[in-house]
Amino acid sequence: MNVSALFGVSQAFAQGIEGTQLEGTIDVSLLGLFLEASLAVKIVMIGLLLASVWSWAIILDKWLMFGRTRRQLDRFEKVFWSGQSLEELYRSLSDRAPTGMGALFVAAMREWKRSFERGANSPMGLQMRIDKVLDVSLAKESERLEKRLMYLATIGSAAPFIGLFGTVIGIMVSFQAIAGSKSTNLAVVAPGIAEALLATALGLLAAIPATIFYNKLSSDVGKIISRLEGFADEFSAILSRQIDEKQNSAQKRAAE
């Protein structure tokens, strides 16, 4: 397939446009413009439509997921600060696959229990291990929350340029139509221009929502991660006090 056939800009194509225009049979609906577009522009349009559908699927999935995550954080904080025993809370969560604050809590408590079961003698070493476990769990939660958001950023930045590529080809079709028909009649160039503008519109249709919701969802991720970091710091301080209390109790027993 040569370049002219791919882009649909041959002289025969231009003359065909003129003939059909004169007969008044050109379909200027969106579907008609798509069907009459050259192969390259069709590929661009289909790609942009798929990108738009995929971005909306990500947006909806993340919107629902962040809503569930915020409700889970609220419920966990309510239970955690209700005065319930940490051991009871750990037993209720350890058999599940918790997310959010629950995942941080279970990971830290598991390290706490393992260390004391093995007779940990270094409070500083235990505290460092707990902080490390909390950091790793926090990184996993951040990765889970941010998953697929970069697709929105990519679509938001690349879609206008992909649409512009289709626009350029549509303008080329118009100029070839002028050259082939030896006429600047609007009916000759209108299909190519409409095809170009449709490619531009599809590029913006994919890019604008992706960019807006990428910024919104990234902000939501930042707020959720900030809450998780705050909880990790508070829980680390609670366990640090527990370590000090156990150490003091052990020293008192040893002195007696």
First-to-final CA distance of the chain = 94
Residue 44's pLDDT is what? Answer: 87
Residue 155's pLDDT is what? Answer: 94
Residue 95's pLDDT is what? Answer: 79
CA–CA gap between residue 177 and residue 172 (Å, rounded): 8
- Hey, what amino acid is at 84? Q
Exposure b/e, 146-167, CB count within 10 A at least 16 = b? eeebebbeebbebbbebbebbb
Return the number of other C-beta atoms located less than 10 Å from residue 17's C-beta: 25
Q: Give the residue ranges of DSSP H helices in the chain.
A: 3-7, 11-23, 30-36, 39-80, 86-94, 101-117, 123-146, 149-181, 186-255
- Hey, what amino acid is at 44? V
CA–CA gap between residue 58 and residue 64 (Å, rounded): 10
Identify the domain containing residue 151 by its residue range.
3-255
Question: Could you tell me which of 104, 73, 115 has the C-alpha nearest to residue 220?
Answer: 73
Question: Could you tell me which of 153, 145, 166 has the C-alpha nearest to residue 55?
Answer: 153
CA–CA gap between residue 89 and residue 92 (Å, rounded): 5
CA–CA gap between residue 250 and residue 240 (Å, rounded): 15
What pTM was estimated for this model as a whole?
A: 0.77
Residue 2's pLDDT is what? Answer: 47
Residue 122's pLDDT is what? Answer: 67
Instruction: Kindly report, residue by residue over 114-168, the tens digit of the pLDDT.
Output: 877 666 666 677 888 889 999 999 999 999 999 999 999 999 999 999 999 888 8
CA–CA gap between residue 249 and residue 256 (Å, rounded): 11
Instruction: Kindly report, residue by residue over 29-77, the tens digit of the pLDDT.
Output: 667 677 777 787 888 889 999 999 999 999 999 999 999 999 999 999 9
The structural domain count of the chain equals 1
CA–CA gap between residue 114 and residue 135 (Å, rounded): 18
Q: Are residues 18 and 188 in contact, defined by beta-carbon separation less than 8 angstroms?
A: yes
CA–CA gap between residue 7 and residue 109 (Å, rounded): 64
Q: Are residues 185 and 207 in contact, defined by beta-carbon separation less than 8 angstroms?
A: no
Instruction: Kindly report, residue by residue over 172-199, the tens digit of the pLDDT.
Output: 877 777 777 666 666 666 777 777 888 8
